[in-house]
Structure 1
Amino acid sequence: MATHETDADTLPAYDQLLERNRRLTNLQYASMYLNWDQQVMMPENGAQGRAQQLSALSATSHELLVDDEVREWLDALEDAELDAEQSANVREIRNSYEREASVPGELNEKITQTAAENQQIWQDAKADNDFEMFAPRLETMRDLQRERAQHIDPDKSPYTVLYEGDHQYISLETIEEIFETLREEIPPIIDEIRTEGSDIADPWEGEYPEENQETLSEAALDFLGYDRNRGRLDTAAHPFMAGNQFDARVTTRFKPTDPMDALTATIHEFGHATYQLGLRQDEYGTPLGSARMSIHESQSRFWENHIGRTKPFWEQFLPTFKSHLDGHDDLTVQEVYEAANRINPNNRIRVEADELTYHMHIILRSEIGRAFVEGDIEADEIPHVWNEKMDEYLGVRPETDSEGCLQDIHWTSGFAAFHGYTLGSVVAAQLNDAIRDELDVDALVREENFDPIQEWMTEHVHQHGQRYTTPDLIEKATGQSLSAEPFVEYIRDKFSDLYDL
């Protein structure tokens, strides 16, 4: 939305509100890239200074958001005649203001600094398999987040308030219903595969040099059409994407004994990048030019699972795969397709988990995070509870805390982030059904023509930014309301066929 005057004091309330939001957005992206640097290339001893930098940006952002002027502009717009896009911008800024206005700036600053400090402590604790090193930091962050939740809405449970920070339009009860469906559906499929499924060989033998895996990941990004002028690939302890519509960077990591791990992680993060790069450039800095966080994971899951794990993908990509990794000249499309989709319930690591058992990892973490925030368990109980739930849901126990409760970075800053991963897979299945009703996706993949797929996602998802609430965006894109049924049908059909059930 263009402004009409140069003097900010004379601008209409709407234009001033958007100009403030643009400033906030730039500060938030500056924080994001500082965090990217911390995880990718910052020297280890830089953590203390980085924590203070991020804390200062957080404090400034909070001050700009909850300033009295913002309240005045929002009040002035309460009964204003706005078009649909203007109304959406005001709605989203109002939501942010109302959520943050009651939170003391000092508390937000402390949370940001603590989270930044926690990242290095978590990395050290994980490397040393020392949960006791990290446990006090968990307790500190929990107490800070509880305090924050109390300021936002004292009438709700702290965990519900934290959850609503990312998913304000999809209730916790709705997510729990989806989880309950998957608790009922997934374990029987896993058991049937274990007892009756045909054998799928693991073709990976020995170790694969990191430099070979890196060039393979780079080749996969080029194959899919990643815009190198607006992105880059790096490595991180925990793969992630950071960016906006002008600069969306992806990271991956390498497992010496399994080249598929880094490859699928790279494709996953590429999916996140497609969302950011598909946002409207003319709306940068406004909600209309910002991603809907509760939709983000659907994009990564779509590209990882509904494209990157399909047979048409491997029919085209296998020659490239072989050219980067030695020892697989005889590998067939069927063999690599099976290897990309084989179920391994014995795997203890979430980011390495197969498409089916992955969701039991998510449910486990969500249950423990909620119990911890609500005071049902304490930090020192987490390793035991984690191992018990892993045994219950997947029939395996971690051998160390590093491959158990220390494996994820998420609890360095909060405790209600995991729901979005399963929500993403559910929405991705709905999007997959919708796009395949309009496009011959398999034929496009065989032709290495990914542009129509990207364009469909941009038209139906990316370009809308935050114009629609999450349920409305899902229904607009897919023609259906949010439901776990398309995902359940997808996994039943896929794995019954794969394992001859």
Structure 2
Amino acid sequence: MSSQSSDAESDRETPEPYEALLDRYGRIARLESGAGVLYWDQQVTMPEGGTPARGKQLAALSATTHEKLTNDAMAEAIADAEDADLTDERAANVREIRRRHDRNRSVPESLVEELTEHISSSQRVWQEAKAEDDFDRFAPALGALRDLQVRRAEAIDPDRPAYEVMYEDGEPYLPLDRMAAIFEELKDALVPLIERIEAEGEDLPSPFVAAGPHPDGDQRALSDAVLDLLGYPEEHGRLDESAHPFTSGNQYDARITTRFKPEDPMDALTATVHEFGHASYELGLPRDRFGEPLGASLSSGVHESQSRFWENHVARTKPFWEGFLPTAKGHLDGIDDVTAEEAYAAVNRIYPDNLIRVEADELTYHLHIVLRCELDRAFVEGDLSVDELPAAWNRKMEEYLGVVPDADAEGVLQDIHWSSRFAAFQGYTIGSVLAAQLDHAMRRDVDDVDAKIRAGEFEPLWDWMTENVHSHGRRYPTDELVEEATGEPLTAEYFVDYVEAKFGDLYGL
């Protein structure tokens, strides 16, 4: 499920300066890809005592790639390629390499190395602090990481707020003020919808929870079964467990992780499908572009659109459960009498008093994101000290969701993100908005999507995403990519319409 270079490009002779630039950049991309495998190993299989060495290994690789990306020879190679006669695709490759070079050239190599090593050690400290419910253990590492990330942002652009610069690491082409406007539009729609459901809707019980607990082995078998159904290729991926589910890889090797919650097997199932969505993006990138910007994913928001599409617009639909329920019954005890309608309701019920973002329902999930973004920005900009974060977190949980964590492990320590970066949570909401827009366009282009989901025929859906999203890599900025795929720029309209219709029907509003 990958595309090849365009015929127009392959018919034109490759300019020598362009070829030289790609050769130089390809070495950088391959080093970064190797570092990604080391990161995966650290989260999944590395023994606990390996952190100090792994931190130095990753730091050495990051310093090497940084030097190769920002040195004078790269600057000259970029300039020479820009002067060549380039097709649109080749010009896009050069544009993206130029953007990365210019963005990073002012960052000291010593800072890159220090930051990478600190991230590696911070993630181990975070895991230990969360397991022991001890925020004080993590606080010094978190404060130091904030300071290092601010120094990096100020080196990139001292004339703009550090938070805005950090945000562009994940979203280079969707301005922060545009994202803020989307947030406000969603809050205006979601808050009253959630309030109506709480006031007027009947409680939707989960037969999966009632039948629990469910052994990890049964849940693992169920995750394997859903990946087989979706078409996840064993020769290009694998499923493992980690403290926080994630995806790592490229178009040849896209690995995913999940985690198991004994009382609710739907948590692991939806997490597995979510990570499959991320892997589908990586596996759909053009294989002949490995090592080029055109062979890499565009942004965190676009990446998240793929995971949210497969999780919410496939695995949380009634047609999916009409087809998949017999498989679930073959792996989970105590659900023999469950109907597809009951399963569909169970995976879509809302529970605003839930403390954990990755276990949140499809609506209140975004209030979790708003909370994190507000605290994230206040912390980076110095309006909150590291010691004030737990209390501030709990206040906002009560304000937005009406619940207060009893332990920091279920509050400020629950996410892995602050052990590595800031200004990154926006991508989850961007992804949900874009997933709804892509789903709408797909249903316009592909005959009877629901029937295909019910029958377990997922290849046409994956093919559509590959053709309209994956195959472009970083050729287009965000709005241009969305227009190519859907015919219009990014809009929250389809997401709002989708959730109002879905949950209005589910709760009889």
Please tell me the TM-score bracket, short chain as reference. over 0.9
Are positions 1:317 and 2:324 aligned together? Answer: yes
Q: Which runs of 5+ in 2 are unaligned?
A: 7-14
Q: 1:433: which partner in 2?
A: 440
Q: 2:368: which partner in 1?
A: 361
Question: Which of the numbers 327, 346, 349 marks the counterpart of 2:334?
Answer: 327
The 8 Å contact of residues 206 and 343 in structure 2, kept in 1 or not, is answered as no
Q: 1:41: which partner in 2?
A: 45
Matches of 2:290 and 2:203 in 1, distance apart?
50
Matches of 2:144 and 2:89 in 1, distance apart?
41
After superposition, the C-alpha distances for 1:272-321 in whole angstroms (9 at most, x for unaligned) are 01100001001110011111123100000000000000011001100000
Matches of 1:114 and 1:457 in 2, distance apart?
37
Matches of 1:326 and 1:462 in 2, distance apart?
38
Q: 1:8: which partner in 2?
A: none
Q: 2:349: which partner in 1?
A: 342
The 8 Å contact of residues 357 and 365 in structure 2, kept in 1 or not, is answered as yes
Q: Quick one: which amino acid aligns to residue 346 of structure 1?
A: D
Give how far 1:25 is off.
1.0
Are positions 1:393 and 2:400 aligned together? Answer: yes
The 8 Å contact of residues 397 and 403 in structure 2, kept in 1 or not, is answered as yes
Are positions 1:373 and 2:384 aligned together? Answer: no
Question: Does the residue aligned with 2:94 lie in a helix, a strand or coil?
Answer: helix
Question: Which of the numbers 235, 240, 249 marks the counterpart of 1:229?
Answer: 235
Q: Quick one: which amino acid aligns to residue 455 of structure 1?
A: D
Question: Which of the numbers 148, 155, 178 marks the counterpart of 2:182?
Answer: 178
Question: Does the residue aligned with 1:165 lie in a helix, a strand or coil?
Answer: helix
Matches of 2:193 and 2:502 in 1, distance apart?
11
Matches of 2:189 and 2:82 in 1, distance apart?
46
Are positions 1:248 and 2:254 aligned together? Answer: yes
Matches of 1:499 and 1:219 in 2, distance apart?
30
| Identical-pair percentage | 56
Are positions 1:238 and 2:244 aligned together? Answer: yes
Question: Which of the numbers 414, 417, 421 marks the counterpart of 1:414?
Answer: 421
Q: Quick one: which amino acid aligns to residue 192 of structure 1?
A: R
Matches of 2:385 and 2:203 in 1, distance apart?
42
Q: 2:11: which partner in 1?
A: none
Q: 1:107: which partner in 2?
A: 111
Are positions 1:285 and 2:291 aligned together? Answer: yes
Question: Which of the numbers 468, 472, 475 marks the counterpart of 1:467?
Answer: 475
Q: 2:276: which partner in 1?
A: 270
Give how far 1:414 is off.
1.1
Are positions 1:483 and 2:500 aligned together? Answer: no
Q: Quick one: which amino acid aligns to residue 268 of structure 1?
A: H
The 8 Å contact of residues 297 and 303 in structure 2, kept in 1 or not, is answered as yes
Question: Which of the numbers 150, 157, 177 marks the counterpart of 1:153?
Answer: 157
Matches of 1:75 and 1:327 in 2, distance apart?
65
Q: Which region of structure 1 is more displaced relative to structure 2, 381-390 or 200-209? A: 200-209
Give how far 1:80 is off.
2.8
Matches of 2:484 and 2:226 in 1, distance apart?
31
Q: 1:163: which partner in 2?
A: 167
Question: Which of the numbers 307, 313, 318 marks the counterpart of 1:306?
Answer: 313
Aligned CA RMSD, in angstroms, stands at 1.1
Question: Does the residue aligned with 2:170 lie in a helix, a strand or coil?
Answer: coil
Give how far 1:81 is off.
2.1
The 8 Å contact of residues 82 and 94 in structure 2, kept in 1 or not, is answered as no
> TM-score normalised to the size of structure 2?
0.96
Question: Does the residue aligned with 1:77 lie in a helix, a strand or coil?
Answer: helix
Give how far 1:374 is off.
0.5
Question: Does the residue aligned with 1:207 lie in a helix, a strand or coil?
Answer: coil
Matches of 1:55 and 1:401 in 2, distance apart?
30
Give how far 1:78 is off.
3.3
Give how far 1:186 is off.
1.1
Give how far 1:16 is off.
1.5
Give how far 1:72 is off.
0.5
Q: Quick one: which amino acid aligns to residue 184 of structure 1?
A: D
Give how far 1:113 is off.
0.3
Give how far 1:77 is off.
3.0
Matches of 2:328 and 2:29 in 1, distance apart?
39
Matches of 2:464 and 2:192 in 1, distance apart?
35
Matches of 1:129 and 1:69 in 2, distance apart?
49
Question: Which of the numbers 215, 218, 233 marks the counterpart of 2:221?
Answer: 215
Are positions 1:90 and 2:97 aligned together? Answer: no
Q: Quick one: which amino acid aligns to residue 501 of structure 2?
A: D
Question: Which of the numbers 59, 63, 67 marks the counterpart of 2:67?
Answer: 63
Matches of 1:170 and 1:479 in 2, distance apart?
17
Matches of 1:351 and 1:29 in 2, distance apart?
26
Give how far 1:198 is off.
2.1
After superposition, the C-alpha distances for 1:402-421 in whole angstroms (9 at most, x for unaligned) are 00000000011111110100
Aligned length: 493
Q: Quick one: which amino acid aligns to residue 497 of structure 2?
A: E
Give how far 1:330 is off.
0.3
Question: Does the residue aligned with 1:183 lie in a helix, a strand or coil?
Answer: helix
Q: 1:5: which partner in 2?
A: none
The 8 Å contact of residues 21 and 81 in structure 2, kept in 1 or not, is answered as no
Q: Quick one: which amino acid aligns to residue 459 of structure 1?
A: E
Q: Quick one: which amino acid aligns to residue 143 of structure 1?
A: D
Question: Does the residue aligned with 2:82 lie in a helix, a strand or coil?
Answer: coil
After superposition, the C-alpha distances for 1:356-413 in whole angstroms (9 at most, x for unaligned) are 1000111111111110010111000001111111111111111110000000000111
Question: Does the residue aligned with 1:402 lie in a helix, a strand or coil?
Answer: helix
Are positions 1:29 and 2:36 aligned together? Answer: no
After superposition, the C-alpha distances for 1:190-249 in whole angstroms (9 at most, x for unaligned) are 111111012211221231100100010000000111111100100000000011000101
Q: Which region of structure 1 is more displaced relative to structure 2, 461-470 or 76-85? A: 76-85
Give how far 1:38 is off.
0.7
After superposition, the C-alpha distances for 1:86-140 in whole angstroms (9 at most, x for unaligned) are 1000000000000000000000111100000001100000001000111111110
Are positions 1:296 and 2:303 aligned together? Answer: yes
Q: Which runs of 5+ in 1 are unaligned?
A: 3-10
Matches of 2:469 and 2:189 in 1, distance apart?
28
After superposition, the C-alpha distances for 1:326-359 in whole angstroms (9 at most, x for unaligned) are 1111010010000010001010000000111000
Question: Does the residue aligned with 2:382 lie in a helix, a strand or coil?
Answer: coil
